[in-house]
Structures are given as structure tokens and as C-alpha cells.
Structure 1
Amino acid sequence: MARSVGIYSRISRDDEGDALGVARQQQDCERLADLRSWQAVKVYEDNDVSAFKRNVVRDEFELMLKDLRAGLIDGIVAYDLDRLARQPRDLERLIEIYDERPRLEFATVTDDINIGTPDGRTMARIMVAFANKSSHDASRRIKRKHLELAQQGKDSGGPAPYGWRKDDRTKVDPDAAKAIHEAQREILAGVRIGTIRTRWQEQGLGNPREGTKRMAHHHVEHILTTPRLVGYRTYHGEILHGEDGQPIIGEWEPINTLEEWEAVRAAVEERKQKRPGASFARKYLLSGIARCGLCKTKIRGQINQRWTPESKATRFTYQCSVVNGGCGKVSRTGEPVDRLIAQLVLEEQRARASVTVVPIDQRWPKEDELEQITQDIAQLVEAERTKQITVATLLQLLPSKERARDELKLERARFYKEQKQAEAKGQTTNLTVEEFFGLPIERQQEIVLHCLSAVLIHPAGRGRRKFDPSLIEPVWH
């Protein structure tokens, strides 16, 4: 009876995606199996998958090992040993199975090596060690090439980042740039990245990975804060600087100004520092803003358990809860309270806008000071390079200059964050009530808190009564 073997094929890169490389390997392996009078019963194919990178899982390779150990196949045919393993640990896992099942078959098209024998295993270990070294050398050369490209401000290839055109990654995609700008304004206005992520997922924005049901939070955050937006070239996530101490500018069109980008980055980092790991999700407009008119405890919205689509009851209520330390004596239907507060706040904002002018787009007053310190650092580095000062002198003078520069950069980011936040939060004077409720809930709350410090909800007495606006007391700043 013919021995049943599995054919393993792999190629590290398939840029065209046509799988021609693995197809050629399979044909040669099938011919070899026929010459040995073996029956090829299954093909294990890892196309466009590295065998060198430690963090890469080769699904078909793992399945092959599992089938081999379980006795579902009687051996392996591969085009070359380095198709099977480029890490010694992967080879040892394979050898362990051959130790357990001595009658297993093994053959490669290019080499006469049989890991079922002691001599074959020794030779295989030597060959995989050399293949591993070759991969290390290639990896080192590739990294050096990428660093050189980065230092020249050039791209390293790959799919175009979201915000730039797929056919020319140096040109801005107007629609994607518009979505990025809108999302950044929302962040500055207090909207959570999670809310933006959900909307983008529904609208198909952000280049989500094919087949994924949900975009990752960090993916959206990276899109909205990456240094590429302002034209800065990065390497392994860090901004690259030239010999003059200035960031290296890439060969692509920027989407943000420096002021916009620093403001968004500062807003994101500030929120992380205030409540790291905490959820900012809200369901109801006045949750945490409304207070009981009797005991002054904060009131939160909650679902009305008696609500049905056929009933006339409200979907949610603002309820003073004994569980949260309240008196439990005040409850009010939610929708009319929200609508009343929205109307009052929008009217107040329009009144304030008619008499108040907020200065926006001011230049940071210490820009010249930062520029001078940056030049001083560059001059010190150049002086050491040309042997005008010693390394010891450079290292003595440099730290204080660098600290001053970093403090000024932080101050600049804070300045533009506050400026852009004021601009984003101030674009609400002409909103209608319907447009207000069309905004994300975090944005709605920011608008309310811009005018109000609290909303007192007073008791209305027993029984079903008509909504009385006089029992809702806004507390203005």
C-alpha cells in the first residue's frame, strides 16, 4: 500500500498575490512523490508567510505537525529544507515527531536529506543554522536600507496609510483627509476615540483590515496622531532628526499643520493621564450633570423598565438612586429634560457669542525662543563634529539645552491644544436642537458643561403630571 504523505510549500513574500511560487513548489513535490511511489494526500500551503520571524504563526505548518503526530500522514515532501524551517526550534519540533515515529518518510526536491536518520538530522541542523544566519543577514541589510530611506525622508513602501491615495502615497486623499480632520475636531471637543472608531467602522473609513468585525482602538488613535500627518518621518515609531536637530520631513503632502497635530496629540495624552484605562462612555446627556433638587446627589439616566414601543412612556428617566447615596425621592422622564436643557444652552451660547470675541489662531509667544534653543543645540553638535569642542564639553552643555527645548515643546503643545479646543468647542453657536442631538453624546455633554455646572431636578409630587420646565433648574457658570 502506498505511503500517504503531505506536501508542504511556503514562500515568504507574494507581492502580486497570485500564489505562483507555491504552485511551482507543489508541482515539483508531487513529481518527487510519484517517483518514490508515495501518495500525496494533502497540500499544506503557507503563502506569503515568513518562517524566520518569531512572532509569525504558520497555520498550515502547525496543522501539518499536528497531522503528522496524529498519524494522519506518513511523511512530508517539501521543495527545500528552508521552506520547512528557518528557525532551529521549528526543526527540532519536527525531529521530535520523527523520533516518536521512526518509520515516517521525508524528502526534499533540492537536497538528498532524510531527517529520519541521525546523519540526516545533523546535516539538517547545520543547513537550518546557515539558513537562519542568512535570514539574519538579510534582515540586517533590509533594516539598514529602511533606515537609510527614512533618513532621506523617503517611504519604505507597503500599503498607503489612511489619508493618502492608494495609487500615489505621496498625495493626500481629500475624502480621507476630511474624515481625519473631522475626527480630530471631535477629539478636541471631547469625543472619545471609541465613538469615532464605531462610526468609522459603520462607514467603512480608516482602511479596516479585510474580514475584521471591529477596528482596533489603537489603530484609529494612530491614524489621528501619527507624525506622518505633519510630514515627519519616523523609524520604528520614533521621529527621526537630522544632524541639525530638526525632524526629517518626508516626501509626501502633510494633512495637518504642526499646531493642529500637537493639539490633538496633547488632548489624547491628557485624557489618558487623567483617567488611565477608564471608560468615558455615556448614554444619557445629563448623567453626572443632573442633581437631585432635594439631596443634591448626582443623578444618572437609567432605562425605563416599563417602556414598550406601543406605550407612551419615556425610554429613560433621571432617577435619584438610594444605591448611589441619594434620597430616592426624585424621578423625571428623560427626553423632555434633555430637550429643555439643549434649548437653554444653545440660546445661552448664541447670546454669549454676540458679545464675546474669543481670540483664536494666535501665534505661540515663545516660538522664537524655541527656535533659538534648537539652533544652539545644532551649533553645539556641529562644533563637536568639527572638533571645535570636546565630547566632554558637549555632554556638559547639551542636557540643560535639551531640557529647556523639551519643556518649551510641551508648553507649545499645551498652548495649541487649548486654542484648538476652544475653537472646536466654540463652533456650536448656530446649531439647532436637532443638530445638537445628532452630535456624539460626549460632544453634547461638552457643550452643556461649557455653560452649566449642574442641573437641579426638583420633585414634581405624586401622580402622572404634565412636564413642568420650572422644576428643572440649570446652574450657570
Structure 2
Amino acid sequence: MARRVGIYTRISRDDEGEALGVARQQQDCERLADLRSWQAVKVYEDNDVSAFKRNVVREEFELMLKDLRAGLIDGIVAYDLDRLARQPRDLERLIEIYDERPRLEFATVTNDINIGTPDGRTMARIMVAFANKSSHDASRRIQRKHLELAQQGKDSGGPAPYGWQKDDRTKVDPEAAKAIREAQREILAGVRIGTIRTRWQEQGLGNPRAGTKRMAHHHVEHILTNPRLVGYRTYHGEILYGEDGQPVRGEWEPINTLDEWEAVCAAIAERKQKHPGKMLARKYLLSGIARCGLCKTKIRGQVNQKWQPGSKAARFTYQCSVVNGGCGKVGRVGDPVDKLIAQLVLEEQRARAAVTEVPFDQRWPKDAELEQVNEDIAQLVEAERSKQITVATLLQLLPAKERERDELKLERARFYKEQKQAEAKGEARNMTVDEFLALPVERQQEIVLHSLSAVIIHPAGRGRRKFDPSLIEPVWR
């Protein structure tokens, strides 16, 4: 009976996402398996995955080890030993399994190393140690090159970040930039990143290399707060500063102005501080806003289990629940309540806007003060460089100026955050009710809470009744 083997293929980078490298490895491994009269039963493919980086988990490699230990396959065929392991600890895990099952098969296309034998294991350990050193040396050279490029404001290559054109990383992709700006306005208007992530996933935005994989929350957050959006160059995830103390500017077109970007960053940071680890998702407009007219307990929306698309039954209801500490005596069909509240709130905000028009284009009044502090810092650094003052004197004077600069920058971020939030929420006054109800529910709630502190739902009595708007009492701010 032919021995059943698994084929392992891996390539560290596949910028185009076409998997051509691993496909060539698979063909050569299948040819070798045929020559050995082995049956290739499964291909374990780690495409675009590093074997050197310690924080990277190779899912297919882990699955292969599991199958090998469980006896589902009788050996491994790989293109080269360094496709399997570039960290000695990974090789030792593989050798441990071959110790437990001495009859396992092993072969590589490029050499005749066999970790099933003592001599082969010794040679494999030496080769992986050299491969590891080679990766370390290459990593050190690459890091030095990337730092030099970063200091010059140049790009480091690789796939274009979302927002810029694939064939020219210096040019903005108009459609992607539009999606980013719209998502940022939604953040300022109260929409959760999770809601944006779901919509982007459905529309194929934000992560073109992810294919069918679910987009991570932190990935969307990074896209919307990336310093690259305002032209800042980063290194290892941090904004890189030049010798003059100012952020290094990159050689690409920005998408945001500084005040827009700082406002979004401040809004996201503030939300994390207010609700650390808290689930902010809402399904219904008045959840947490509506209250029972009898016991004044908060009423929450709940889906009607009998509802089916196209049926006449209510899609959801607002119900005072005993489980939540209420009396359980008040409930109302949800859709007409939402439409009524939307209509009242939009009318109130239009009337308010007609009386007092809020200016959204005011500049932060301390721009000149921050510019002066930055100039003072640059002068101190230059004075030490030209030997006009000592390093000790510089270190005595610099911290106070840096604290003043950081406090002013934080104040500027808060100023523009509040301004942009007011602008985003103010857009609602020109909406129709249908346009309002088509918004994400978090944004609907932000608009409602701008006008209302609560909605009292009074009891309607027994039996089926026509919806009575007079039993819905908005509590205006």
C-alpha cells in the first residue's frame, strides 16, 4: 500500500496574491512523491506567511504537525527545508514527532536531508541555524534601509495602503478616499467601527487582499486613524520626527487635513476611555432611550418571533420587561414609534438651525501659540547642536516645552473633534424620515439624543388599537 504523505508549501511574500510561487512548489513536490511511489493526500499551503517572525502563526503548518502526530499522514514532502522551518524551535517540534513515529517518510526537492535519521537531523539543525542567521542578517539590513527611507519621507514599498492607488502609492485612489472620509464622518456622528467594518466587508472595501476572510476591527481602525492620511511618515507604527522636532512628511498625496484626522483620532480614543471593553452595538433606535409610562423603567426593543418578510405582523416591538425590572404592562409596535420620533426630531432640529446657525469653520484660537512652542523647541535643539548650550542645559529646558506642546496638541484635537462632531450631527436637519431610518442605528441614536433625553411610552389599554401618537411623549432637552 502506498505511503500517504502531505505536501507542505510556503512563500514569505506574495504581494500580488496570485499564489504562483506555492503552486510551483506543489508541482515539484508532487513529482517527487510520484518518483518515491508515495500518495500525496493533502497539500498544506501557507502563502504569504513568514516562517522567521516569532509572532506569526502558520495555520497550515500547525495543522500538518497535528495530522502527522495523529497518523493521518505518513510523512512530509517539501520543496526545501527552509520552507518548513527558519526557527530552530519549529524544527525541533517536527523532529519530536519523527522520534515518536520512526517509520515516517520525509523528503525535499532541493536536497537529500532526511530528518528520519540521526545524521539527517544533525544536518537539518545546522541548516536551519544558518537559515535563521541569514534571516536575522537580512532583517537587520532591511530595517536599516527602511529607517533611512522613512527619514527621507520615502515609501518602503510593498502593497499600497488602502486609500492610495495600487500602481502608484503616491497618488490617492478617489473611490477609496471617499469611503475613508465617509467612514470618518460616521465615526464623528457616533457610528461604531464594527458597523463600518460590516458594511465594508459586504461592499469589498478596506482590505482588497483579504478575499473572503473577515476584516479585523483593528484593521479598520488603523485605516481611519493612519498618520499617512495627513502625510506623516511612520516607522514601526509610530510617527517619525525629524531633527527639527517636526513630523517627517511623506512623498504622497494626503487624504485628510490635520484637523480632520486629529478629530477622528480623538473621537475613537475618547470612546475607548468611556466604554473600555463594552459592547456598544444597538439594534433598535429607542433601546435605552424609551421608558415605560407606568413604572418609568427603560424599555428595550425585541424582535417579534412570528414576523416573516412580507407578513403583516410587527417586525419588532418596544416592551417593558419584568426581566429588566419593569412592570411588563406596556408595549408598542416599534416601526410607527421610530417614524414618529424621527419626524419630530428632524423638525425640531430644522427649526433650531433656522434660529441659530452654528459655524463649523472656526480655526483653533491657539495656533500661533503652538507654532511658537514648536519654534522654541527647534531653537533649543539647534542651540545644543551648535554648542551654544550644553546637553545638560537642553535636558533641563526641553521637557517643560515638550509638555506644553503636547498639552496644546491635545487641546487642538479636542477642539476640532467637537467641531467636526457638531458638523456631522448637524447634517441630519436636511434629511427625510426615510433617509434618517436608512442610517446606521448608532448614528440615528446620536441624532435623537441631540434633541431628546427620553421617550415615554404610555399604555394604550387592552385589545388591538390604531397607533395613537399622543401616547408617545418625547422629553426634549
**TM-score (ref. length: structure 1):** 0.88
1:364, distance to aligned residue in structure 2 (A): 0.5
Matched residues in 2 for 1:334 and 1:60: separation?
48
Closer/same/farther in 2, CA of residues 335 and 387 from structure 1, 3 Å limit: same
Residues 29, 78 of structure 1: 8 Å contact kept: no
Closer/same/farther in 2, CA of residues 385 and 310 from structure 1, 3 Å limit: closer
Aligned to 2:24: 23
1:49, distance to aligned residue in structure 2 (A): 4.2
Residues 4, 39 of structure 1: 8 Å contact kept: no
Residues 29, 108 of structure 1: 8 Å contact kept: no
Unaligned 5+ segments in structure 2 are none
Residues 315, 334 of structure 2: 8 Å contact kept: yes
* Aligned partner of residue 443 in structure 2, secondary structure: helix
Superposition pairs of residues 54-65 of structure 1, within 5 angstroms: 54-58=54-58, 61-62=61-62
Aligned to 1:201: 201
Residues 19, 47 of structure 1: 8 Å contact kept: no
Mapped pair 1:244 → 2:244: yes
Farther off after superposition, 459-468 or 41-50: 41-50
Closer/same/farther in 2, CA of residues 70 and 179 from structure 1, 3 Å limit: closer
Matched residues in 2 for 1:430 and 1:3: separation?
72
1:215-261 alpha-carbon deviations (Å, 9 max, x no partner): 22212111111111111111111111111111111111111100111
1:303, distance to aligned residue in structure 2 (A): 2.8
1:471, distance to aligned residue in structure 2 (A): 2.2
Aligned to 2:90: 90
Residues 201, 208 of structure 1: 8 Å contact kept: no
1:315-359 alpha-carbon deviations (Å, 9 max, x no partner): 322223333333333322322222222222111111111111212
1:384, distance to aligned residue in structure 2 (A): 2.2
Residues 9, 25 of structure 2: 8 Å contact kept: no
Matched residues in 2 for 1:129 and 1:226: separation?
37
* Aligned partner of residue 453 in structure 1, secondary structure: strand
Aligned to 1:408: 408
Residues 15, 158 of structure 2: 8 Å contact kept: no
Aligned to 1:187: 187
Aligned to 2:427: 427
1:261-286 alpha-carbon deviations (Å, 9 max, x no partner): 11111111111111111122222222
Residues 11, 22 of structure 1: 8 Å contact kept: no
1:370, distance to aligned residue in structure 2 (A): 1.0
Residues 30, 40 of structure 1: 8 Å contact kept: no
Farther off after superposition, 153-162 or 88-97: 88-97
* Aligned partner of residue 228 in structure 1, secondary structure: helix
1:140, distance to aligned residue in structure 2 (A): 0.8
Closer/same/farther in 2, CA of residues 189 and 97 from structure 1, 3 Å limit: closer
Closer/same/farther in 2, CA of residues 341 and 138 from structure 1, 3 Å limit: same
Unaligned 5+ segments in structure 1 are none
Aligned to 1:161: 161
Closer/same/farther in 2, CA of residues 66 and 344 from structure 1, 3 Å limit: closer
Q: RMSD of aligned C-alpha atoms? A: 3.1
Matched residues in 1 for 2:203 and 2:62: separation?
37
Count of residues paired in the alignment: 474
What is the identity, as a one-letter code, of the residue corresponding to 2:239?
Answer: I
Matched residues in 2 for 1:359 and 1:103: separation?
79
Aligned to 1:291: 291
1:416, distance to aligned residue in structure 2 (A): 0.2
* Aligned partner of residue 426 in structure 1, secondary structure: helix
Aligned to 1:274: 274
Closer/same/farther in 2, CA of residues 41 and 398 from structure 1, 3 Å limit: same
What is the identity, as a one-letter code, of the residue corresponding to 2:24?
Answer: A
Aligned to 1:357: 357
1:400-452 alpha-carbon deviations (Å, 9 max, x no partner): 11111111111100000000011111112221111111211122222211112
1:83, distance to aligned residue in structure 2 (A): 4.1
Residues 194, 217 of structure 1: 8 Å contact kept: yes
Matched residues in 2 for 1:229 and 1:273: separation?
24
Aligned to 2:383: 383
Closer/same/farther in 2, CA of residues 299 and 73 from structure 1, 3 Å limit: closer
Residues 15, 159 of structure 2: 8 Å contact kept: no
Superposition pairs of residues 208-219 of structure 1, within 5 angstroms: 208-219=208-219
Superposition pairs of residues 365-376 of structure 1, within 5 angstroms: 365-376=365-376
* Aligned partner of residue 291 in structure 1, secondary structure: strand
What is the identity, as a one-letter code, of the residue corresponding to 2:230?
Answer: V
What is the identity, as a one-letter code, of the residue corresponding to 2:247?
Answer: P
Matched residues in 2 for 1:49 and 1:290: separation?
50
Matched residues in 2 for 1:72 and 1:175: separation?
48
1:7-39 alpha-carbon deviations (Å, 9 max, x no partner): 7665544556463687379659957995xxx43
Mapped pair 1:143 → 2:138: no
Aligned to 1:314: 314
Matched residues in 1 for 2:74 and 2:455: separation?
76
* Aligned partner of residue 456 in structure 2, secondary structure: strand
Residues 297, 320 of structure 1: 8 Å contact kept: yes
Residues 7, 40 of structure 1: 8 Å contact kept: no
1:91, distance to aligned residue in structure 2 (A): 2.7
Aligned to 1:125: 125
Residues 19, 47 of structure 2: 8 Å contact kept: no
What is the identity, as a one-letter code, of the residue corresponding to 1:475?
Answer: V
What is the identity, as a one-letter code, of the residue corresponding to 2:37?
Answer: Q
Closer/same/farther in 2, CA of residues 379 and 336 from structure 1, 3 Å limit: same
Farther off after superposition, 298-307 or 217-226: 298-307
Matched residues in 2 for 1:336 and 1:266: separation?
36
Closer/same/farther in 2, CA of residues 408 and 336 from structure 1, 3 Å limit: same
What is the identity, as a one-letter code, of the residue corresponding to 1:371?
Answer: E
* Aligned partner of residue 175 in structure 1, secondary structure: helix
Matched residues in 2 for 1:289 and 1:33: separation?
69
Matched residues in 1 for 2:3 and 2:458: separation?
85
* Aligned partner of residue 429 in structure 1, secondary structure: helix
Aligned to 1:39: 37
Matched residues in 1 for 2:269 and 2:73: separation?
54
1:40-96 alpha-carbon deviations (Å, 9 max, x no partner): 543766555433223344556556656665677776666654444322223323433
Residues 28, 79 of structure 2: 8 Å contact kept: no
Identity %: 85
Closer/same/farther in 2, CA of residues 427 and 7 from structure 1, 3 Å limit: closer
Matched residues in 1 for 2:90 and 2:140: separation?
22
